[in-house]
């Protein structure tokens, strides 16, 4: 009797493994590969994934999945997993994946890719590079910081020094100096996107030196910055997503990158067979970057100033610098 039962159980298991999940023929499969920050980084990995989830929820022809990378060597493996599973589009989140994406795209010319925050693959016919004008969003929050600071000292914490990351600092400092030319901008490179305690220490150090607004572009490290600002009762500025929920009383605004919109756009393009390779720039003019929608903490006159500046950038009257040479006050690159 026991034998029959165990055989029956084994059969059940085998059947459970063997029956392939049935897919509708016109399903569009979108796979997302995170960088080592993981999918819950409260930053662009998470935003992209939320965007894809929202897309799958409203339109069930989309099937979305993500793979997390734990080490640098996982990027290639994860991309290859999606290729083997015949996904229609593979979204690689972050410039860390640029080399792995290039290699996979060259080896698999029929596979479509999108990569966020990298333009080095723009020459490939099967890669869409989703770029964000982060200096524009940072410029706007810089205007906010320069307007609300009373001590004329603001802080800036960056997660890593690189051309792409430096754009945050350059835009921010340009904004601050435009409304408050004699402001001091304390700058700190955490060299780490995951060090909450380190971010908190850096922020407290800046607060001791008189900073009353701190902007961070540092992933998880930045969460420590916001926590410290919340404890000390000064303004913090969020990045990438609307980080107001982390400290509603003290996050004055966030420099949003609509990574979710970008991921949705490119997915829809693939579904409609309208995929375009090359650089897709998301900036203020198409709503790809902006101030976060939570604006309760911003004084009305400052908000008006920011809206005017935004209009000026969109009209092309103001060009936010993108090079360290145009922003001598930015010192992290030295």
Choice between 36 and 298, CB closer to other proteins: 36
Distances in whole angstroms, Cα of residue 210 to Cα of each of 186, 201, 205, 207, 234: 10, 14, 9, 5, 10
Choice between 76 and 177, CB closer to other proteins: 76
Choice between 280 and 310, CB closer to other proteins: 280
Question: Least distance in Å: CB of 62 to other proteins?
Answer: 15
Q: What value, to the nearest 5°, has the Cα angle with vertex 224 and ends 222 and 228? A: 120
Task: Establish how many alpha carbons lie within 13 A of residue 171's alpha carbon, considering only the half-sphere containing its beta carbon.
Answer: 33
Question: Least distance in Å: CB of 223 to other proteins?
Answer: 14
* Closest of 275, 291, 247, 325 to residue 129, by C-alpha: 275
Q: With beta carbons less than 8 A apart as the criterion, state whether 93 and 35 touch.
A: yes
Angle subtended by helix axes 44-58 and 259-271, to nearest 10: 40
Distances in whole angstroms, Cα of residue 257 to Cα of each of 13, 168, 275, 319, 333: 45, 11, 21, 18, 23
Question: Least distance in Å: CB of 289 to other proteins?
Answer: 19
Question: Least distance in Å: CB of 292 to other proteins?
Answer: 24
Question: Least distance in Å: CB of 16 to other proteins?
Answer: 3
Which residues are near other proteins by CB under 8 A?
13, 16-17, 36-37, 65-68, 70-74, 76-78, 80-81, 84-85, 95-96, 98-99, 107, 118, 120, 159-160, 162-164, 191-194, 219
Question: Least distance in Å: CB of 205 to other proteins?
Answer: 19
Phi, psi of 50 (to 5 degrees): -65, -35
Rounded CA separation 89/32 (Å): 8
Question: Least distance in Å: CB of 198 to other proteins?
Answer: 11
Choice between 163 and 304, CB closer to other proteins: 163
Choice between 192 and 286, CB closer to other proteins: 192
Of the chain, the end-to-end C-alpha distance in Å amounts to 77
- Residue 273, number of CB atoms within 10 A of its CB: 6
Choice between 32 and 213, CB closer to other proteins: 32
Burial of 81 (0-12, 13-18, 19+ CB in 10 A): middle
Q: Is 277 helix (H, G, I), strand (E, B) or coil?
A: coil
Choice between 85 and 249, CB closer to other proteins: 85
Question: Least distance in Å: CB of 162 to other proteins?
Answer: 6
Choice between 131 and 207, CB closer to other proteins: 131
């Amino acid at each position: 009797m026991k034998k029959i039962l165990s055989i029956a159980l084994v059969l059940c298991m085998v059947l459970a493994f063997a029956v392939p999940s049935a897919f509708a023929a016109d399903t569009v499969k979108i796979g997302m590969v995170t960088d080592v920050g993981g999918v819950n980084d409260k930053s662009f990995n998470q935003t992209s994934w939320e965007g894809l989830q929202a897309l799958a929820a409203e339109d069930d022809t989309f099937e979305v999945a993500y793979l997390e990378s734990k080490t640098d060597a996982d990027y290639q493996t994860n991309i290859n997993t999606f290729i083997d599973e015949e996904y229609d589009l593979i979204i690689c989140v972050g410039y860390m994946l640029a080399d792995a994406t290039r290699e996979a795209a060259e080896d698999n010319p029929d596979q479509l890719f999108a990569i966020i925050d990298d333009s080095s693959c723009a020459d490939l016919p099967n890669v869409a590079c989703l770029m964000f004008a982060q200096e524009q969003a940072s410029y706007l929050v810089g205007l906010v910081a320069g307007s609300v600071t009373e001590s004329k000292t603001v802080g800036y914490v960056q997660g890593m020094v690189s051309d792409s990351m430096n754009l945050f600092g350059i835009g921010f400092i340009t904004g601050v100096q435009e409304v408050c030319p004699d402001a001091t901008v304390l700058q700190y490179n955490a060299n780490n996107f995951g060090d909450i305690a380190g971010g908190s220490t850096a922020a407290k150090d800046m607060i001791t030196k008189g900073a009353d607004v701190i902007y961070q572009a540092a992933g998880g490290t930045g969460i420590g910055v916001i926590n410290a600002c919340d404890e000390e009762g000064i303004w913090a500025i969020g990045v990438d997503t609307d980080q107001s929920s982390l400290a509603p009383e003290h996050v004055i605004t966030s420099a949003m990158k609509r990574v979710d919109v970008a991921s949705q756009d490119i997915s829809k393009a693939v579904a409609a067979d309208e995929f375009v390779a090359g650089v897709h720039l998301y900036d203020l003019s198409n709503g790809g970057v902006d101030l976060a929608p939570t604006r309760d903490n911003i004084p009305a006159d400052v908000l008006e100033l920011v809206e005017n500046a935004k209009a000026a950038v969109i009209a092309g009257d103001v060009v936010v610098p993108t090079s360290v040479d145009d922003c001598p006050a930015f010192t992290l690159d030295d």
